[in-house]
Amino acid sequence: MASWQDKAAAKRASLATLIPSDLKLSALPGSATLNVTLFPFDSVLSHRDVEITETVNVSILLKKISEGEWTATEVVSAYYKRAIVAHQLVNCLTEIFIDQALARAKELDDYFQATGKTIGPLHLKDQIDVKGVELTMGYVGWIGNVSKENSVCAQLLLDQGAVLYVRTNVPQALMFGESVNNVFGTTSNPFNRNLTCGGSSGGEGALIAMKGSPLGVGSDLGGSIRIPSAFQGLYGLRPSYNRIPYCGSTNSMEGQEAITSVLGPMTCSVDGLKVFMQAMADAKPWLSDPVALRLPWNDAAYLLADHGGDGARLCFALMWDDGVCRPMPPYIRALRETKAALEAAGHKGTRFSPSLVKPVSHVHIGLFNADGGHDIALARGLSGEPKLGWSTVLDSEPKHLSTYEYWQLCRERTIFIKKHLDHWNDTVSTTGTGRPVDAIIAPASPSAPSQHNTPGYIYYTGFCNLCDYSAAVFPVTTVDPAIDVKLPAHEFRSVNDQTNYENCMNEPETFRNAPISLQCIGRKNEEEAVIRMTEIVSAALQA
């Protein structure tokens, strides 16, 4: 029987054979070239391919297709070519299925004017089942695991005119914030290849940053959409539980529902969030996913009906620190710039004090390890491959909890989220709008995308998963070592705090050019309002 190393090597070799010779890069940039977003794509792609793929605004892209300026086939071709080039630079793909994509594009070209339904090309993270396509989720033992059916999400996207053409890299088992596994290796951050692209939807983030796709679908259990979106300067939305259909997609630790993983969009332009969410809601996922909520797209909510109406003065609470792990200087700068931009646009910025509601990372870690690592061990055991994963998410020697112990963790989560909600409601006295704060603005992470193999702290995003808040990330700036200088060590409040400081502050130059992004966090089920408020914040930043 082949070793796990041989199986993984064979899979990588097989993926490599899917790269057409005319798209194979004859000379790869040297390791000193850290920022590969500046790669001269016109050396491989046609002028039109470059033009198409650099049309980052998803609405404009769709308009050009619907007006017949570009065919679906042209658009899909441009993107798959760029995706394949991107893959050679940052190792972001796991499956390439161009024939299926081109056949679908041809169907759309034949019929799109009648249906008017094309929402543009999309790709999917390596956990969303697509009929006839292999799904490994980062496990060597799952090589050859071809999906028999489309997941509900893939099916509805296809029904809405999407074209699926590649799958992207993830961490082993999806369960940490760095996209590395024993099958496909590590995906690098296109802005600085010494850094991680984040995870778990990291291949997705890297691909979109390389403009190998305008929009993709990731999943988020602790930040897996938002962290890679943030680390690549993208827009990414974590919808609340069961808004986007998960049914038929594969996941780690299925049955763990105390924190429910969600699917959501990642895209290079803010309008992509709305395009995706509206298209998915219009597809009525509740008719085919038994746990999807019956929530049509709500235009009144998008127009901020519960926030004074569109155009009203909003009050955002800035979260400068979560009380556990102090954000590094570029995030403080990003918060300051955002506050100034919001105030210049007529809005108000207050402070969100986390003192009463510190993230409860032990609840996350307890829930994620409650089966004693059994689920992941079973999948690893199929091939004998070694375990990967950060100690900040996965215990090195997890205890297998009894059901009663597991329920007590669920109860502790409920106490935390009620306290957090009460705290949010209490802000009504500070806003001057008559409402509690409309949204929280928080760092997506306390650290810039870290160097490879460096555990990170995921609870700036993670508390939203516990509370089920709808939350979008948006880009603000990039690390500039000249400004974001090393701070003296502060009095560390926790091991996480100390590790984060040491990982991030040793040498700011290490993080040059890394995207720095914030989150716009709304209440549970406020996807529409969060998208609108993210548009408002982004517009303020650009003004």
Question: What is the smallest separation between the CB atom of 149 and its own copies, expressed in angstroms?
Answer: 11
**Is 125 a catalytic site residue?**
yes
Q: Of the two residues 51 and 306, which places its CB atom closer to its own copies in the complex? A: 306
- What's the CA gap between 535 and 73, in Å, rounded? 30
From the candidates 151, 179, 213, 224, give the one annotated as an active-site residue. Answer: 224
Binding pattern to its own copies, positions 20-59, x when CB under 8 A?
----------------------------------------
Q: In this chain, which of 271, 322, 375, 385 binds its own copies, going by CB under 8 A?
A: 375
- In this structure, how many other beta carbons lie within 10 angstroms of the beta carbon of residue 29? 16
Q: Please give the sequence-ordered ranges of beta strands (E in DSSP) within 246-303, or none if there are none.
A: 262-267
- What's the CA gap between 103 and 80, in Å, rounded? 13
Q: Of the two residues 231 and 469, which places its CB atom closer to its own copies in the complex? A: 469
Within 284-303, which residues bind its own copies (CB under 8 A)?
A: 286-291, 293-295
Question: What is the smallest separation between the CB atom of 360 and its own copies, expressed in angstroms?
Answer: 13
- What's the CA gap between 325 and 494, in Å, rounded? 7
Binding pattern to its own copies, positions 418-447, x when CB under 8 A?
x-xxx--x----------------------
Binding pattern to its own copies, positions 151-190, x when CB under 8 A?
----------------------------------------
Question: What is the smallest separation between the CB atom of 306 and its own copies, expressed in angstroms?
Answer: 9
Task: For residue 308, state whether it binds its own copies (rule: CB under 8 A).
Answer: no
Q: Of the two residues 391 and 402, which places its CB atom closer to its own copies in the complex? A: 402
Complete DSSP assignment for 230-248: HHTT-EEEEPPTTSS--TT
How far is CA 101 from each of CA 98, 119, 121, 158, 206, rounded to the nearest angstrom? 5, 14, 9, 10, 20
**Is 21 a catalytic site residue?**
no
- What's the CA gap between 535 and 235, in Å, rounded? 10
Q: In this chain, which of 110, 400, 506, 507 binds its own copies, going by CB under 8 A?
A: 400
- What's the CA gap between 394 and 175, in Å, rounded? 7
Q: In this chain, which of 317, 526, 537, 540 binds its own copies, going by CB under 8 A?
A: 526
The single-letter code of the amino acid at 225 is I
Q: In this chain, which of 417, 473, 505, 536 binds its own copies, going by CB under 8 A?
A: 417
How far is CA 161 from each of CA 113, 133, 155, rounded to the nearest angstrom? 11, 19, 10
Residue reference for tokens 């194979």: 24
- What's the CA gap between 400 and 371, in Å, rounded? 5
Token duo for residue 237: 């939305």
Q: In this chain, which of 374, 426, 432, 453 binds its own copies, going by CB under 8 A?
A: 374
**Is 224 a catalytic site residue?**
yes
Task: For residue 410, state whether it binds its own copies (rule: CB under 8 A).
Answer: yes
The single-letter code of the amino acid at 262 is V
List the one residue out of 361, 318, 321, 331 whose CA is nearest residue 457. Answer: 361
Q: In this chain, which of 25, 382, 401, 487 binds its own copies, going by CB under 8 A?
A: 401
From the candidates 179, 188, 200, 201, give the one annotated as an active-site residue. Answer: 200
Q: Please give the sequence-ordered ranges of beta strands (E in DSSP) within 428-523, or none if there are none.
A: 439-443, 471-478, 515-521
- What's the CA gap between 537 and 316, in Å, rounded? 10
Question: What is the smallest separation between the CB atom of 247 and its own copies, expressed in angstroms?
Answer: 6
Binding pattern to its own copies, positions 198-237, x when CB under 8 A?
----------------------------------------
- What's the CA gap between 203 and 192, in Å, rounded? 14
Contacts of 413 (CB under 8 A, 6+ apart): 258, 259, 360, 363, 367, 466
- What's the CA gap between 385 and 393, in Å, rounded? 19
**Number of residues binding to its own copies, judged by CB under 8 A:** 46
From the candidates 64, 81, 125, 339, give the one annotated as an active-site residue. Answer: 125
Question: What is the smallest separation between the CB atom of 441 and its own copies, expressed in angstroms?
Answer: 20
| Contact positions vs its own copies (CB under 8 A) | 247, 253-258, 286-291, 293-295, 370-372, 374-375, 400-411, 414, 417-418, 420-422, 425, 467-468, 523-526
Q: Looking at the annotation, which residues are catalytic?
A: 125, 200, 224
